[in-house]
Amino acid sequence: MKKPLRKIAFVLIVFGLIGGSIYASGILVKPNFLTTKSLDEVPVYDILSFQAQREQEILAEVRLEQYSFSDPYVIIDPYEMNPLSALVAFEVDSAAEYVITVLANHAYAQLTTRVFYDPGIVALPIIGLFPDTVNTVLIDNGQSIITLSIETEPLPLDFQKIDVIESKPEQMQEGFTLFVACFDHSYTALVDQDGAIRAYFSNTDMAHGTSVISLPNGHLLGTGDELKQVPYNMTSLWEFDWLGRVYQEIELPNGAHHDLSLLPDGKVLVVSNHERMFETGTREDVALIVDLQTGDILTTYDFRTILDETRAPFNNFHPNILNALNIDWMHMNGAVYDPQNDWLIVSSPIQSQVVAIDAKTKEIQWILGPHEGYEGSSAFLKSYLLTPIGEDFQWQWA
């Protein structure tokens, strides 16, 4: 009886050793020829190509069905980006200006836009529809008016809640309010005077965590939808409109976060990182000037070479800062240009600093912040600290 037990034990030990060797080798999980030969390449998604193809499909449909002004082709959310938008398309023989009005329960919430088109296919953007509503839209071509009923879906179940405590539209500045989502678990949205959502981007990876700015041509500029580092460092800028149509994509190997601002010459100031942020071991400490026409990075302001990245910020030793893969020693969260003095002014909540530098020479002009913590390697910054006037004064500690 003992011999069979010994044999069984021996077999179990052998199989255990073989299994352990296989597991330790990683062959079960590591890619190899046998496991990858049947796999296809990862598809490359290009938003510009996808949307161009979508536009060709729309044009082909309009030509095929011969849609007219009196009987147009209506497509809700044509780019699958803003469910509270639509495209009204048809073909005409003469040029005209079209006045588009989305009716509301009072004049302040009513939205009117004007678009001019030459003869050919007309594609009118309908922006500002109400959610979960049969919207009434009027389109006037100067000779006749058509009335369209456009029904929209309810807002997503996870949409952020907006509570209106009081609204006085007659005292408000004309226009709607843009709310930019901080993270990708909420939506960047346009809100009217009554607190109603009138547009939002269903792609929560885009245009979040960073400013969205208006361009002179009426388009918007914000971040794209591909992450460089979680949760808000993005690898590109998109120029887009409220239909969600993307006109250009500017690749930024440095990434973009927190803030964009338009410069007087049409270029854009971007809060960013070092291009090799994982090699430098730091993050969120660079500002860029980017040419929107070419996508080129024209100027880089690396604040590791301007300030002192080794300075220990006063009372700010959070584990997420001290133990990150790349140290967030500065956390630049805003950058603006002062054209009068040709200064770049940036903010650092971790260092409790607002810093002005010469836009050309990159030399420090002044530092606004508490005077503690400027010993040792940071001593050279002392002479730039601003001195408050009077005693009734409190420093910012962020």
Residue 212 to residue 179: CA distance in whole angstroms: 9
Residue 205 to residue 186: CA distance in whole angstroms: 10
Residue 176 to residue 192: CA distance in whole angstroms: 5
| Identity of the residue numbered 307 | L
Asked whether the beta carbons of 356 and 365 are under 8 A apart, the reply is yes
- Backbone phi, psi, residue 326, to 5°: -130, 125
List the one residue out of 179, 182, 198, 186 whose CA is nearest residue 242.
198
Long-range contacts of 321-326 (CB under 8 A, 24+ apart): 321/350, 324/283, 325/278, 326/277, 326/278, 326/280, 326/281, 326/282, 326/283
Tokens of 165: 């405590």
- Read off the pLDDT band of 97 (50, 70, 90): very high
Asked whether the beta carbons of 237 and 225 are under 8 A apart, the reply is no
Task: Give residue 10's Cα distance to chain centre.
Answer: 62
Asked whether the beta carbons of 260 and 269 are under 8 A apart, the reply is yes
Q: What is the mean pLDDT of the chain?
A: 90
Long-range contacts of 110-118 (CB under 8 A, 24+ apart): 111/176, 111/198, 117/92
Fold of 62-151: Immunoglobulin-like (2.60.40)
pLDDT score, position 306: 98
List the one residue out of 242, 209, 236 whose CA is nearest residue 224.
236
Domain ranges of the chain: 62-151, 258-384
- Read off the pLDDT band of 262 (50, 70, 90): very high
* Positive or negative torsion for Cα 203, 204, 209, 211: positive
Residue 277 to residue 259: CA distance in whole angstroms: 18
- Read off the pLDDT band of 77 (50, 70, 90): very high
Task: Give residue 305's Cα distance to chain centre.
Answer: 28
- Read off the pLDDT band of 38 (50, 70, 90): low
Q: Which residue has the tokens 């291009």?
A: 275
List the one residue out of 278, 280, 275, 282 whose CA is nearest residue 256.
275
Residue 119 to residue 122: CA distance in whole angstroms: 8
Residue 328 to residue 348: CA distance in whole angstroms: 10
Residue 379 to residue 308: CA distance in whole angstroms: 9
Asked whether the beta carbons of 109 and 127 are under 8 A apart, the reply is no
Tokens of 218: 């009426």
- DSSP label at residue 69: S
Residue 334 to residue 345: CA distance in whole angstroms: 8
List the one residue out of 94, 135, 102 whose CA is nearest residue 118.
94
* pLDDT 10s digits, 125-156: 999 999 999 999 999 999 999 999 999 999 99
Please compute the mean of the pLDDT values over residues 289-306 and round it to a whole number. Answer: 97
Tokens of 171: 């005292």
Residue 391 to residue 131: CA distance in whole angstroms: 53
Q: Whole-prediction pTM value?
A: 0.84
Cis previous bond, 231, omega within 30? yes
* pLDDT 10s digits, 180-227: 998 888 999 999 999 999 999 999 999 998 999 999 999 999 999 988
**Residues of the chain with pLDDT > 70: what percent?**
86
- In a 13 Å sphere around the CA of 118, the CA atoms on its Cβ side amount to 0
pLDDT score, position 1: 52
